[in-house]
């Protein structure tokens, strides 16, 4: 979708139409990526040396492979890359390519960041100080146990600051932006990714409304009696920034109680403390300016999606089901990855008081005829 003032040349349009996931044939992994993916820290030095030798040869050969994109397309993409007046990104939904005026992109993002209830502009160097403090506290926790010491390598010695970018919501009026914080290479990212693993199988442990996929939805609907009921759909407004961090941490504590401690990477108490440390790391940058997010969960953190789901499960168990009554059916459809930002409810009456009006928008009520 081209919403910029730029008229695309033929080859520029054709190159972009390949999509952002087009396989160029070029190797994008670094040598360090291959090493981390192919051996564990429990391997012997001899095993590590052999694996590293094989990977070094493979990485060298892979880097010499020519690109699968024709020269005319590469030149067209290079010309677009040099044009500072436009921004090329992907759509929030569907993964399509979107071309925007750079000025419009920056203005929309600055308008989003002007929300002082969620974001705060910081001084230069704030990210470095926050990263150092994070590593210091994380090391204290990890060194308490033998299992924790094996995770010390996940801490970045020279971390990069998380970077915020925006994905245009082309399916909505005025095309607002969805803020995404890319934390790859940042102080908490690798550790947060490891901490998120145990909860992948814990979804649905607090409340059974969580749906794994569309097939699960169909199966559940087969057992629903729709007679004399209405179907209402609800959408969560800005799920990640509206989920209170303390509430999400309480949900993690609740869910972790059902997980065998042997399946946790470190002892349970240390695990909860590390999760809390990771999600409270709110530092990021946008266009060179440093900021802090002091409300909600950062979209892009490996922990945010699963913690948002678990928080929703606690609300459903403690609040919504009691409000709606036992004669209603409540199902939550997960979005991309583990993110749950869309809710379907079959109910006899409106389930929400004004207390939850800031979280949910009623999208549609449909009469179900049998």
Task: Convert the pLDDT of each residue in 27-61 to its tens digit.
Answer: 566 655 666 566 565 667 777 677 777 777 766 66
Answer for the pair 291, 130: CB distance below 8 angstroms, yes or no: no
Residue written as token pair 């001084």: 123
- What average pLDDT does range 157-182 have in this prediction? 88
Q: What percent of the chain has pLDDT over 70?
A: 76
Inform me whether the pLDDT recorded for 118 exceeds 70. yes
Mention every residue, 6+ apart, whose C-beta is less than 8 A from residue 92.
167, 168, 169, 170, 171, 178
Coil, strand or helix: which one is 358?
Answer: coil
The ranges assigned to domains in the chain are 115-367
Coil, strand or helix: which one is 46?
Answer: helix
Q: Give the pLDDT of residue 290.
A: 94
| Cβ atoms within 10 Å of 96's Cβ, excluding its own | 15
How many residues would you count in the chain? 370
pLDDT band of 132, cuts 50, 70, 90: very high
| Measured distance CA(343)–CA(239) in Å, rounded | 12
Phi/psi for 262 (5° steps) reads -65, -25
Return the C-alpha torsion angle 352, 354, 360, 361, nearest 10.
100
Q: Give the pLDDT of residue 72.
A: 87
């Amino acid at each position: 979708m081209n919403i910029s003032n730029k008229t695309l040349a033929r080859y520029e349009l054709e190159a972009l139409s390949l999509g952002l996931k087009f396989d160029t044939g070029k190797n994008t992994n670094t040598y360090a990526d291959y090493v981390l993916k192919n051996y564990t820290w429990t391997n012997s030095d001899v095993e590590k040396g052999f694996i590293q030798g094989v990977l070094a040869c493979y990485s060298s050969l892979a880097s010499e492979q020519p690109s699968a994109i024709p020269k005319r397309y590469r030149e067209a993409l290079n010309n677009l890359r040099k044009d500072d007046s436009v921004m090329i990104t992907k759509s929030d939904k569907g993964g399509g390519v979107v071309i925007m005026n750079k000025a419009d992109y920056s203005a929309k993002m600055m308008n989003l960041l002007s929300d002082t209830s969620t974001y705060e502009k910081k001084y230069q160097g704030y990210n470095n100080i926050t990263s150092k403090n994070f590593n210091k506290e994380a090391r204290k926790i990890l060194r308490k146990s033998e299992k924790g010491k094996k995770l010390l390598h996940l801490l970045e010695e020279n971390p990069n600051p998380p970077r915020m970018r925006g994905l245009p919501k082309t399916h909505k009026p005025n095309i607002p932006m969805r803020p995404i914080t890319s934390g790859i290479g940042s102080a908490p990212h690798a550790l947060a990714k490891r901490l998120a693993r145990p909860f992948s199988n814990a979804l649905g442990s607090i409340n059974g409304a969580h749906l794994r996929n569309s097939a699960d939805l169909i199966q559940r609907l087969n057992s629903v009696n729709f007679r004399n009921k209405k179907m209402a759909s609800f959408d969560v407004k800005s799920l990640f920034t509206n989920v209170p961090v303390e509430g999400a941490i309480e949900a993690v504590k609740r869910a972790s109680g059902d997980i065998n401690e042997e399946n946790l990477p470190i002892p349970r108490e240390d695990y909860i403390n590390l999760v809390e440390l990771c999600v409270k790391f709110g530092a990021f940058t946008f266009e060179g300016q440093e900021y802090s997010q002091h409300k909600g969960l950062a979209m892009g953190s490996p922990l945010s999606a699963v913690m948002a789901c678990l928080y929703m499960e606690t609300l459903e168990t403690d609040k919504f089901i009691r409000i709606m009554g036992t004669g209603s059916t409540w199902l939550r459809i997960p979005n991309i990855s583990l993110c749950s930002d869309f809710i379907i409810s079959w109910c006899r009456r409106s389930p929400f008081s004004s207390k939850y009006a800031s979280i949910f928008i009623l999208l549609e009520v449909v009469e179900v005829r049998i």
